[in-house]
Amino acid sequence: MRLGRHELTLEPRPALPAVYAVLGAVVAILLALVLASVLFLSADAPLFAAYRTVFSYAFFNPHGVLATAQRSIYLLLCTYAFLVPLRAGLWNIGLPGQVYAGALAAFAVPFALRATGSPPALPAGVLVALMVAAAATAGAALGGFAGLLRARLQVNEILVTMMLNSILVWLVAYMIKEGGPFMGATAEGESFSLPPPLYAPLLQGVPFTALLALGAAVFLDLLFAKTALGYRIRAFGENPSAARYGGIIPVTLSLFVFLLGGAFAGLAGYHYFAAVPGVYKIPGNYGYYGDLGFYGIISALIARGSSLGAVPIAVLFAGLSLGARFAQGALRLPFGVDYALLGLLMMTFIASHVLYQFRLIWRRVEAQAPAIAAEMSRE
């Protein structure tokens, strides 16, 4: 960008130690909180009381901590759904659709086995395991469809996954609303509620899916760092032409990463609709949870492809979104404060990410020779 006799350019920065990335993230958080103070002051809310309400509910209140943990699990699974294809240079934007597919498949198990009201014919543990498997399979199938089109026909995966999102939104509406097969007994635009025997096992109030999410973080980092398959995925993502020359098969690889990513998104659908205490159904505002899945994309980008690095980011996003929503009601703040706070946090994180990889150069532009300037003016 040129300003008078000076120009501002963005140039690649030499590799920096990882500690600079951590410092950049801390500065990004502080800057987002400073900017968010404008929201609180514009609503005549006491500034320190607002921050205290946000953080105390999200990270110190017993109910808030549980809610933060449950939302963090959801965001982590969505993060993996985007992160795995990203390491192969592919973009999985279909997180909401795959989440809905997983939720529908999970609820299809008790519906098909007539275990929604009467005592289940199979042991509850078996049914829960079937629900988890069905959710992962449905998410993988939807993701794999996009991966197959990309691998075989070179169809843009972003367009395909976005169209699948729209299809699944309407499919959920058909299934749970008036006259739908999964419609609840009250006919209030929600699905049937799971019977208590099918509630997911809890560990200190947190669904067992927390173990899946944390175990997957370790598994994925080891996969990409220590295995030949992970090396092939990374090689394909960094240079597809060289990877093909080296014998890597793009079709198989593209399909694999989308299958695995879709399976994680399907598990996220099972987690939030079938495992979180107090939900146990597909609610009428299911679209909110689908949109929430997009924060998994931001978490994966900020974590720079590290699944373990995404854990604290997901916890932060989950806690601040819940804390800001709680403060909105407690302090009578304007609607949408939680979205605004997350938006500010995303912008400052992305700015820190850019400045970690690039540097701003402000330089003076040398004056052009008179003859060249005259020649350019004639043109």
pLDDT for residue 223 is more than 60: yes
pTM across the whole model: 0.85
The predicted model gives 245-271 an average pLDDT of 90
- More reliable by pLDDT, 73 or 247: 73
189 φ, ψ (degrees, to nearest 5): 75, 25
Least Cα distance to 172 among 111, 272, 97 occurs for 97
pLDDT, mean of residues 70-86: 94
Q: Give residue 357's pLDDT.
A: 77
pLDDT (mean) for 207-221:
94
249 or 61: which leads in pLDDT: 61
Q: Looking at the predicted structure, is the pLDDT value of residue 7 above 70?
A: yes
Instruction: Give the three-state DSSP class for 7.
Output: strand
Q: Is pLDDT at 72 greater than 70 in this prediction? A: yes
Here the tokens at position 45 are: 């809310």
* Average pLDDT of the residues in 86-101: 92
pLDDT band at 74 (very low <50, low <70, confident <90, very high): very high
Q: Specify the pLDDT at position 80.
A: 95
Task: State yes or no: pLDDT of 237 exceeds 90.
Answer: no
| pLDDT classification of 258: cutoffs 50, 70, 90 | very high
In one-letter notation, the amino acid at residue 305 is G
Region 99-124 average pLDDT = 85
What's the whole-number mean pLDDT along residues 5-31? 78
pLDDT value at 270 more than 90: yes
| Predicted local confidence at residue 287, as pLDDT | 87
Q: At residue 369, does pLDDT exceed 70? A: no
- What is each CA distance from 270 to 48, 58, 245, 330, 372, in whole angstroms? 38, 23, 40, 31, 67
Cβ neighbours for 289, distance < 8 A, ≥ 6 positions apart: 74, 99, 272, 273
Residues β-bridged to residue 3: 6
Q: Is the pLDDT of residue 353 over 80?
A: no
Do 267 and 209 form a contact (C-beta atoms < 8 A)? yes
In the predicted model, what is the mean pLDDT of the chain? 86
Give yes or no for residue 245 having a pLDDT over 90: no
Percent of the chain with pLDDT over 90: 40
Q: Which residues pair with 206 in a beta bridge?
A: 203
Q: Please state the rounded mean pLDDT for residues 163-180.
A: 91
What average pLDDT does range 23-45 have in this prediction? Answer: 83
Residue 154 is encoded by which pair of tokens? 């070179």
Question: How many C-beta atoms lie closer than 10 Å to residue 27's C-beta?
Answer: 14
Confidence of residue 372 (pLDDT cuts 50, 70, 90): low
Residue 244 pLDDT = 80
Q: What is the mean pLDDT of residues 248-259?
A: 88
pLDDT on residue 373:
53
Collapsing DSSP to helix, strand or coil, 183 comes out as strand
